[in-house]
Amino acid sequence: MITSNQWKCYELQANVIQAMAHPIRIAIVEVLRNGEVCVCDIAERIDTDRSNVSRHLAVMTHAGILNSRKDGLQVFYSLQTPCVLNFLACATQTLKQNLKQQAKAIGKR
């Protein structure tokens, strides 16, 4: 039987996963892989306007995935929880495995 505390933990985990569940957010995480980057540079690297990037950054910051720091007029972001990179690596591995299975199924035709 799942306890109410366990269920609450599952809900909180789902919130973190939902905060990652957008291609722009995954691209942002990849940009931040090697350290702190300002919003303007993030927007330029993923070829998206700053206001759109800012909305996605806010979602991920609220979920505890990112840290932010203001320096003058610029805001810099970094991964608060670099372990999200492990999650993305796992997702990539899952995709590779799925492709192998699909290729195998097609080959049996």
Q: Are 65 and 20 in contact (CB under 8 A)?
A: yes
pLDDT band per the 50, 70, 90 thresholds, residue 5: very high
> Taking 70 as the threshold, does the pLDDT of residue 28 lie above it?
yes
Domain-embedded: residue 38: yes
Domain-embedded: residue 89: no
- State pTM to two decimals: 0.87
What's residue 12's pLDDT? Answer: 94
Q: Could you give the number of structural domains in the chain?
A: 1
Instruction: Supply the range of the domain harboring residue 69.
Output: 4-81
Domain-embedded: residue 108: no
CA distances to 14, 60, 63, 65, 87 from 5, rounded to whole Å, are: 14, 24, 19, 22, 23
**What's the rounded Cα separation, in Å, for the pair 24 and 10?**
24
Domain-embedded: residue 107: no
Domain-embedded: residue 102: no
pLDDT tens digits, 35-79: 999 999 999 999 999 999 999 999 999 999 999 999 999 999 999
Rounded mean pLDDT, 85-106:
92
Domain-embedded: residue 54: yes
Q: Exposure string (b/e) for 36-50, b if CB count within 10 Å is 16 or more?
A: ebebeebbeebeeee
- CATH code for position 76: 1.10.10.10
Helix or strand run (H / E) with residue 79: strand 74-79
